[in-house]
Amino acid sequence: MNSPFHNSSEYILSQVQDHLSRSLTGVPLLRALKGIHPIDIKRALLESETLEEAKEAFESIEVTSPTLHEILRDDNPVSSFWPFTRASAETIANMSLGYSSVALLGTPTLFGLLGDRPESRTMLFESDDYFFPEGSVPGYVKCDLTLGLPHAYDDQFDLIVGDPPWYLDEYLTWLEIAVRIARPGGTVIFVLFPEGIRESAKREREAIFSFARDHFESFTQANGIVEYETPSFEQVQMIRNGISPINWRSAEIFTGHVRKTKTRSYRGKRSAAVNEWVERRLGCGRLFIKREPVHSTNFLEFADPRSRFLSSPSRRDAARLRANVITSRGHGLRCNDPSRLISLLDSVKLFSDVNAYPDQMESGARDLLRTVAADLWGRFILI
């Protein structure tokens, strides 16, 4: 017999009703649902026509549009970046005391706390250099961890702290790297995603534990350590769904102690993605463009027919899968000529340059691009 979809509307409704019966609403209710996204929760309640439950669950964190919202930092939707809250970063930084060499995998907010400690050598391996606008920073290595690391880093670190994307193949790749660059007997601290994020998450966590049993002398789990800030692109998408962009996401950590005789059974270096995303800046915002064109007669169009914004940050979202242009503020677009779009963006120095886009561009595409540029240019966005 097939098991029901873990995050089906029926399942979500039953879970919400159970928590409401115990007087949990708002952020406490969201956290009790172990990673199910607030947008999915609200949709499920509305689809089930349980309007009273929806009102009770979300009334304290409701927001109405139009809303003028300030973007404090433009985050990266391509790398699935969710920054630690300051309190969580400080907690993990304190766990790192006493180690003479520390490798940070995908945790730039933690690097800001550990990078200046004179008693230890700290290195950050991270693909996004947004946090380092001034260029070269001692200890920072720009790299795509899904493609591996040079063997020069093997057996070099007493402690490795990682926060990989919450997708199993990428997660295991990062974990393999952590074990490889750890000294024999070293320590690995990794964020562990909650089992409610998708139907397969519980099974994926078991695969991670299986890897840990093969490579660690021992490992432990701990709750209540990691909380995340909601990134800029998800803030916009939550507001579009009538939900205040609160910090709701939390996760566990697990700590493993690498065997003194390490097992060298790694899957090897991955191949670079053919259709990589390239980044361009527009005002304060960031656009990410996949070089592969979409099949369309329009130069630029919505990925979601209803809105220039994506309705969810999930990689599994249908519109997100159709999009080959996404932004740090939640937009999702389709472009039939990415090279031309990149060239146009490269010509923009002032906002007035956006209005000077060539008249031969079809008017719908030109208006859409100007609207997106207006959304990205300043620190505030009208949603």
| pLDDT value at residue 290 | 97
Tell me 229's DSSP state. Answer: P
pLDDT tens digits, 298-323? 999 999 999 999 999 988 899 999 99
Domain ranges for the chain: 9-62, 86-258, 277-382
Q: If pLDDT is split at 50, 70 and 90, which confidence band does 363 have?
A: confident
pLDDT at residue number 3: 37
Position 266 pLDDT exceeds 60: no
Q: Which residues contact 192 (CB under 8 A, 6 or more apart)?
A: 205, 208, 221, 251, 252, 253, 254
Which span out of 94-103, 260-269, 273-282 was modeled with the highest average pLDDT? 94-103
Statement: the pTM of the whole predicted model exceeds 0.95: no
In this prediction, residue 186 carries a pLDDT of 97
Under 8 Å between Cβ of 24 and 32 = yes
> Which phi and psi angles does 150 have, rounded to 5°?
-60, 150
Write down the pLDDT at residue 119: 73
Strand-pair partners of 104: 124, 161
| The pLDDT value given to residue 264 | 67
Checking if the pLDDT of 227 tops 90, the result is yes
Q: Is the peptide bond before 138 cis (omega within 30 degrees of 0)?
A: no
CB crowding 275-309: b at 16 or more within 10 Å, else e: eebebbebbbbbbbbbeebbeeeebbbbbbeeebb
CATH architecture of the domain covering 86-258? 3-Layer(aba) Sandwich (3.40)
